[in-house]
Amino acid sequence: MLPVDVQYRVYLLRQFFRLCIVPPIGLFAILSFADVTGALGRILTGALLLASIPAAFFGLGYCSHFANERRARSLGAVLAPEFYGGTAGNADIFLRALRGGGGSGTGRAYIGNNWLDLFRRTGSTTCNMRVLGADKILTMDDAVIKAVLATSFQHFEKGSSLRMRMESFLGNGIFNRDGDVWKMHRAMTRPFFAKERISDFNVFDEHSKKALDLLESTTRTGPRKGAIDAQDLYARFTLDTASEFLFGHDLNTLAMPLPIAGEAKLGPQGSSPPDTAADSHSRSFLAFVQAFESAQLNASRRARLGDLFTLVEAFHDESAEHVKVIRSFLDPLVERAVGQNAERKRAGIVPGPGDETTLLDYMAQNTSDKRVIRDELLNILLASRDTTAALLTFTTYLCAMHPEAFQKMRDEAMQVCGPTGQPSYEVIRQLKYMRAVLNETLRLYPPVPFNGRATLPGQGIVIPPSPHSVPQQPLYIPPDTNVTFAPFLMHRRKDLWGDDAESFVPERWIDPERLARFTANPMIWVPFNAGPRICLGQQFAYNEASVFLVRLLQRFSAVELAPDCQPKGSTPPEIWKHDTAHGYLPTVEQCWPASALTLFAKGGLWVRFTPAE
Ligand code: HEM
């Protein structure tokens, strides 16, 4: 296989050759054969050859569209309605994605609103946003999402587009593989997420204590009446916890300087910490964390651009530098674990099942392929860090917006654990209201708001509609087509969740009558995905978030937003308040949700906690 950074350039060259070289050469051959070049003259011949490029581009697009339409009709199905924008080939959509807009919330529009507009304008819950000739299916339809993730799982894959975009960053890891290789990854890592292992709450408890000590000291003595960027704190907590769990190495980002209330500026996602990492040890950790975040940002930019990222990065792989830093950090850890395992084997020590304490140890016992181990660690670090941090961030946000829910959750935690009791697996199972708050947060603010798959090359698929699908006909998705689905939008649909779909109502997860909507059709709630590729760390995430919240509720009695500390440019734009056309939630939003693979609050989530007496 070609080196990854060469792969997309080859792809680009192939596309360039197909679209820009073949049509003029073909036309020239025809004109020469017909012996009309002399009569046309050089200028007209040149103009025709040039015009053959867009003509072939759009001509091929239309031919494939008509072929697909015929195929759909023959199967008794329809194609997803196409969106026609204001420019040829919907080029404006591509330009908006290039500038950071699109549906991701990183532009001025509320996250997902651009998509809602497309659904409205095509009168559907699934549409085709054909950009520069490439089909791109968008959906918030429960039937399509169900087919993609579960019932027709075998007809979809992550696909070559995604692999090409992510290869330099995620390499040979579980997120970036399909078919038998993915099965091998899943079989290898799954046992490590067994209940017994992730029920060892000490690692959660230790890091919760560190984070909450920091929160308490900032609350009591920090500037601006003790305001803190909760999102930043949670990202450190989840990173330190995950790094210890995965490779036995506490990155100790909680020990690095926090963003300062009133001084912090807008960072690439949250707020920026002061650049004052003390020693070289902290600096190398900081470099790793920054490279990890930058590679993620580039991956999400590539996702917005689709295959066209190859054009933007034709001469410079924007991930290369970050990946180098990440690998220089992880490689020695992997090297050491593989070496230690080889030594143990030489000494005749055979570890029993469950003896290994970290994923790194566990993998070193199962394979000596250092690249597989490194890439898997990186993939799972990515999977575990921002997702759980997003869950805690938006739970805090909703608690600040709904103090009664915070109080109810606190009363329950006090009743079950008391003011100092250690949360255990059994204890957490009793915290029904807390679980309802977490589920409701995952509904309104799913940490992975958008996700994607592609149909297999050479294999289209027909998806039967659900009672809520528009149009109410079977849908044909042609072969090798990208399908992007939006749990963020589906989770807020009134026809699926009822009139209070946009309200924060934890009781909908407890009250049997309300819960019936979900139990009748569980595919309307997919924060962890569903089907064979469902999140491996779901229980880990619930455990981690619950331990942290119990400890937080034991030490703090209230939380409120601190909008005065949000960095400039991160408070919701005034226009959201008056934009009732896109639903109720954006009009009352007090933070700025946006997405870069995972959900985050732009500029961070600045809050003030009240220490419990
Ligand atoms: C609230 C927290 C979390 C949420 C919302 C979440 C959500 C998801 C989603 C949506 C996927 C599917 C991604 C895709 O389609 O490619 C996924 C996959 C995965 N998650 Fe999570 N996740 C969370 C926490 C975690 C944690 C803590 C871990 C590990 C410690 C983890 C490990 C994984 C792994 C290994 C996969 C890949 C599964 C596969 O492809 O077979 N996740 N997660």
- What per-residue confidence (pLDDT) applies to 95? 67
Which of 232, 282, 231 lies closest to 256 in space, CA to CA? 282
**Residues 521, 150 contacting (CB under 8 angstroms):** no
User: What residue owns the CA closest to ligand 1's atom 41?
Assistant: 533
Which of 453, 384, 387, 372 lies closest to 174 in space, CA to CA? 372
Q: Tell me how far the alpha carbon of residue 50 lies from the centroid of ligand 1, in angstroms.
A: 48
Q: What is the largest CA-CA distance in the chain?
A: 94
CA distances from 338 to 242, 369, 435 (A): 20, 9, 39
Measured between alpha carbons, how far apart are the two ends of the chain, in Å?
63
Report ipTM (2 d.p.): 0.99
Cα–Cα distance measured from residue 572 to residue 593, given in angstroms and rounded to the nearest whole number:
9
Task: Pick the atom of ligand 1 nearest to 149's CA.
Answer: 15
> Which structure tokens are listed for 258?
């926090």
359 lines ligand 1 (CB under 6 A): no
> Which structure tokens are listed for 201?
């709450």
384 lines ligand 1 (CB under 6 A): yes
> Which structure tokens are listed for 603?
């500029």
User: What residue owns the CA closest to ligand 1's atom 7?
Assistant: 528
Q: Tell me how far the alpha carbon of residue 444 lies from the centroid of ligand 1, in angstroms.
A: 18
Cα–Cα–Cα angle for 176, 182, 184, rounded to 5 degrees: 140
537 lines ligand 1 (CB under 6 A): yes
Which of 303, 297, 300 lies closest to 159 in space, CA to CA? 303
- What per-residue confidence (pLDDT) applies to 354? 60
Q: Within the chain, which residue ranges are assigned CATH 1.10.630.10?
A: 175-271+282-347+372-611
Pocket test for ligand 1, best of 387, 539, 540 (most atoms within 8 A of CB): 387
Q: Taking the C-alpha atoms of 89, 94, 95 and 97 in order, what is their torsion angle to the nearest 10 degrees?
A: 160
- What per-residue confidence (pLDDT) applies to 315? 79
Cα–Cα distance measured from residue 196 to residue 484, given in angstroms and rounded to the nearest whole number:
35
Which of 539, 533, 537 lies closest to 182 in space, CA to CA? 533
> Which structure tokens are listed for 428?
């957490």
Task: Pick the atom of ligand 1 nearest to 526's CA.
Answer: 10
Task: Name the strand (E) or helix (H) holding 142.
Answer: helix 142-146
Helix/strand/coil (H/E/C) assignment for every residue in 446-469 = CCCCCEEEEECCCCCEEECCCCCC
What's the fold here for domain 175-271+282-347+372-611? Cytochrome p450 (1.10.630)
Cα–Cα distance measured from residue 178 to residue 157, given in angstroms and rounded to the nearest whole number:
6
What does pLDDT average to in each consecutive run of 10 residues of the chain (613 residues)?
A: 65 78 92 90 91 85 89 97 76 64 68 91 92 85 98 94 85 91 91 77 94 97 94 95 87 89 84 66 76 86 77 82 90 88 82 72 87 91 93 98 98 96 92 98 97 94 96 95 96 97 97 95 97 96 97 98 95 92 92 92 97 92
CA distances from 129 to 166, 449, 481, 482, 551 (A): 22, 18, 12, 10, 46
Residue 462: strand pairing partners: 476
383 lines ligand 1 (CB under 6 A): yes
- What per-residue confidence (pLDDT) applies to 135? 85
174 lines ligand 1 (CB under 6 A): yes
Q: Tell me how far the alpha carbon of residue 391 lies from the centroid of ligand 1, in angstroms.
A: 13
- What per-residue confidence (pLDDT) applies to 542? 96
- What per-residue confidence (pLDDT) applies to 106? 62
User: What residue owns the CA closest to ligand 1's atom 21?
Assistant: 535
Non-local CB neighbours of 260 within 8 Å, separated by 6+ positions = 222, 223, 274
277 lines ligand 1 (CB under 6 A): no
388 lines ligand 1 (CB under 6 A): yes
Cα–Cα distance measured from residue 313 to residue 529, given in angstroms and rounded to the nearest whole number:
31
Q: Tell me how far the alpha carbon of residue 538 lies from the centroid of ligand 1, in angstroms.
A: 7
